[in-house]
Amino acid sequence: MDAVPALDEPLKKVLGPATAKVMAEHLGLHTVGDLLHHYPRRYEERGQLTHLADLPMDEHVTVVAQVADARLHTFASSRAPRGKGQRLEVTITDGSGRLQLVFFGAGVHKPHKELLPGTRAMFAGKVSVFNRRLQLAHPAYELLRADSEEAVESWAGALIPLYPATAKLESWKIGKAIQTVLPSAQEAADPLPETLREGRGLVPLPEALLKIHRPHTKADIDQARARLKWDEAFVLQVALARRRHADAQLPAVPRRPKPDGILAVFDDRLPFTLTEGQRKVSKEIFADLATDHPMHRLLQGEVGSGKTLVALRAMLAVVDAGGQAAMLAPTEVLAQQHHRSVTEMMGELAEGGMLGGAENATKVVLLTGSMGAAARRQALLDLATGEAGIVIGTHALIEDKVQFHDLGLVVVDEQHRFGVEQRDALRGKGKQPPHLLVMTATPIPRTVAMTVFGDLETSVLDQLPAGRSPIASHVVPAADKPHFLARAWERVREEVGKGHQAYVVCPRIGDEEDGAKAKKKSPEDEAEKRPPLAVLDIAEQLARGPLAGLRVEVLHGRMQPDDKDAVMRRFAAGEADVLVATTVIEVGVNVPNATVMVIMDADRFGVSQLHQLRGRVGRGSAPGLCLLVTEMPEASAARQRLNAVASTLDGFELSRIDLEQRREGDVLGQAQSGTRSSLRMLAVIDDEEVIAEAREEATRIVAADPDLERLPALRTALDALLDEEREQYLEKG
């Protein structure tokens, strides 16, 4: 027998360059090990035919069926004028439905000989409609003969695995390639410690790989899946546990607020009482800040739950203890907005060193990339001398020139937009590692938090502060019911008539640079027949049409920073009635007088993003209204998604819906700088128990053996997960 290829052997040596190239380019598979971990999507049972009745349109499908009849027609065409054109029509059935296959020209000879009535085969192709009947044109097929030795060998067992495939490589070709490398599964090093594996009744890894690719019974598949899910959950949780363990070994300066310091004065002046949730979360944060190793905490909060206030109290506690606090925001608009709201909340406590400043006051400085040289120099000086206790800025804070006197706390807002390098660069500016508080307004289901942010302790704010008004949300089907859209603009006029303000959000800016891009339509746009609506076009149409006479302003990401800030200030001051904007207003923008938001082409936004946007209204005493405008038909998935957003204000519920619709490949995809999700078997939402148990086991194992010296196979699996590309995988949240 030939030598068994090693798991790290490149596929081109084993399968040949052409097949290996397709696998690398279309499936991201490069080595024998990668291919063994390309698991079947589902299985066909011999004798149980797949349902032709529910074939999806326009998708590549694989069906197992029996030929009912085959007819060869000749016809005349421009290529074969004397009636010599040939068309083979084959009808296949699976008991539930029938499907027509067609072959043309020279392509009819082989199937005409092979696809005789009664023959069973696997067929793969793209489902289309011809004469109102479903058909596959020129499908690839593989005969299932019970008699020939080879066929019996290759389809041994009752279950035929169907693999995630591409138009360039059908499922059974992938299956044959896997059969070629399957003997290598014996070489797979098992990452699970034996005690853990036996304690949980899991099969060894080589056996799991054999059973997933060549199951004889459904029990084989269940055993293999249970084992492979554990691998994924466990290796990932070990990586996170090691990170938590390493962070816990670092020294940090404990930061405890003074009983009569700036925090106490600030709390006394608050015009309202903290919610129960804010008190509980603050207590967790203060307990962490008082320890001598760095806090690493994720603060999740519903839109408008008062996260900024909780973060500000943590920053004031650190200032009390003689340290400095930095807040990192993803955009200039958001940094300026935070700076404004923090200085407003602090009042004279933010005027340290100035006349009229309170006795305990400190300086709050803003640092962004577009500041003038003089203002920037002054801000840098205030940071270096310690004059400024609090700095709020964009990634400009991370630059080499920025020096802190004594950085004690880093608050990162909207975590999913920052990579770990940025977080670490800012943390590196402390004399000792500073404490870290990460905030996100996109509620994350617990399972995802454990998987993506597993190196952080989690606090959740799920109560809205008193005085926040409810938000009513409605879907406006512009194509089916144009009068609904007309009514939406009337509602905007009514709100403005009552002295309130409105947002109109569009997916695109619409200036020339954008227009050039819009011409090269993406496949989705082709399908939807027009580019997404643009801020500049809509603003003009509204100002001339349904909102004529109102003060309409525009805000988008390509405006000059000063212009953006000026627009936001005018809107906040009530000098503009309607702000037509892109998603730059998605986070942190706080204008309590804005009561209505109209989101154009709402189907072009994700569920979490719509929830974020909606949170910009209803921030004052008047109730909020959010109108989701769409041209998508009622039965479409996009409309169902919008109906879900309209039906609940619970961000955690919506994030589950979002995840179920998008699958977590995206969630972890974001977490991985765009590399393919490492989760092939584990479904983050469904496998909550496995993830929680794996986390416990991982924490226990890492505590006993942080360097995994006694578990070399687990170290190898970790290195594979955290290869160069995924080095920072865990943190690209």
Q: State the chain's maximal CA–CA distance in angstroms.
A: 102
Indicate if the pLDDT at residue 606 is higher than 60.
Answer: yes
Mean pLDDT computed over 413-432: 67
pTM score above 0.85: no
Distance CA 501, CA 594 (A): 4
**What confidence score (pLDDT) does residue 630 get?**
92
Count of Cβ atoms closer than 10 Å to residue 546 Cβ: 15
Percent of the chain with pLDDT over 90: 27
Q: What is the DSSP letter of 429?
A: T
Distance CA 561, CA 563 (A): 5
Indicate if the pLDDT at residue 614 is higher than 90.
Answer: no
Indicate if the pLDDT at residue 310 is higher than 90.
Answer: yes
Q: Which residue has the higher pLDDT, 726 or 589?
A: 589
Mean pLDDT computed over 215-220: 88
For the segment 85-136, what is each residue's pLDDT rounded down to a tens digit? 888 999 998 877 888 999 988 888 889 999 999 888 888 777 888 877 888 8
**What confidence score (pLDDT) does residue 275 get?**
87
Q: Which residues pair with 160 in a beta bridge?
A: 44
**What confidence score (pLDDT) does residue 671 get?**
40
For the segment 187-204, what is each residue's pLDDT rounded down to a tens digit? 888 889 999 999 999 999
Q: Which residues pair with 326 in a beta bridge?
A: 391, 410
Percent of the chain with pLDDT over 70: 82
For the segment 354-398, what is each residue's pLDDT rounded down to a tens digit? 656 667 889 999 998 888 889 999 999 999 999 999 999 988 887
**What confidence score (pLDDT) does residue 265 get?**
92
725: three-class secondary structure by DSSP: helix
110-118 own/partner pairs: CB under 8 Å, 24+ apart: 111/70, 111/141, 112/70, 112/72, 112/88, 114/143, 115/67, 115/70, 115/90, 115/141, 116/67, 116/70, 117/67, 117/68, 117/69, 117/70, 118/66, 118/67
Angle between helices 651-662 and 637-647 (to 10 degrees): 170
Indicate if the pLDDT at residue 316 is higher than 90.
Answer: yes
**What confidence score (pLDDT) does residue 212 get?**
94
Indicate if the pLDDT at residue 1 is higher than 50.
Answer: no
**What confidence score (pLDDT) does residue 582 get?**
86
**What confidence score (pLDDT) does residue 4 get?**
66
Strands 159-162 and 42-45: antiparallel
Mean pLDDT computed over 701-723: 85
Q: Which residue has the higher pLDDT, 53 or 631?
A: 631
**What confidence score (pLDDT) does residue 106 get?**
81
Count of Cβ atoms closer than 10 Å to residue 398 Cβ: 19
Lowest mean pLDDT among 84-93, 295-304, 322-331: 295-304
For the segment 569-598, what is each residue's pLDDT rounded down to a tens digit? 899 889 999 999 888 776 556 788 999 999
Distance CA 294, CA 317 (A): 15
Distance CA 401, CA 369 (A): 12
**What confidence score (pLDDT) does residue 136 get?**
87
For the segment 460-481, what is each residue's pLDDT rounded down to a tens digit? 887 766 666 778 999 999 888 8
Distance CA 447, CA 439 (A): 17
**What confidence score (pLDDT) does residue 512 get?**
47
DSSP 321-349: TT-EEEEE-SSHHHHHHHHHHHHHHHGGG
Indicate if the pLDDT at residue 727 is higher than 60.
Answer: no
Q: Give the strand order in the sheet containing 624-630.
A: 471-477, 624-630, 594-599, 501-505, 578-581, 552-555
For the segment 138-183, what is each residue's pLDDT rounded down to a tens digit? 888 888 766 544 543 444 345 778 888 777 788 878 888 998 889 9
Q: Which residue has the higher pLDDT, 241 or 58?
A: 241
Q: Which residue has the higher pLDDT, 84 or 231?
A: 231
Confidence of residue 672 (pLDDT cuts 50, 70, 90): very low
Rounded to 10 degrees, what is the CA torsion of 557, 562, 564, 567? Answer: -170
Q: Which residue has the higher pLDDT, 496 or 534?
A: 496
On average, the pLDDT of the chain sits at 81
Confidence of residue 82 (pLDDT cuts 50, 70, 90): low
Name the strand (E) or helix (H) holding 100.
strand 98-104
**What confidence score (pLDDT) does residue 518 get?**
44
Mean pLDDT highest for which of 444-458, 515-529, 651-665, 684-698?
A: 684-698
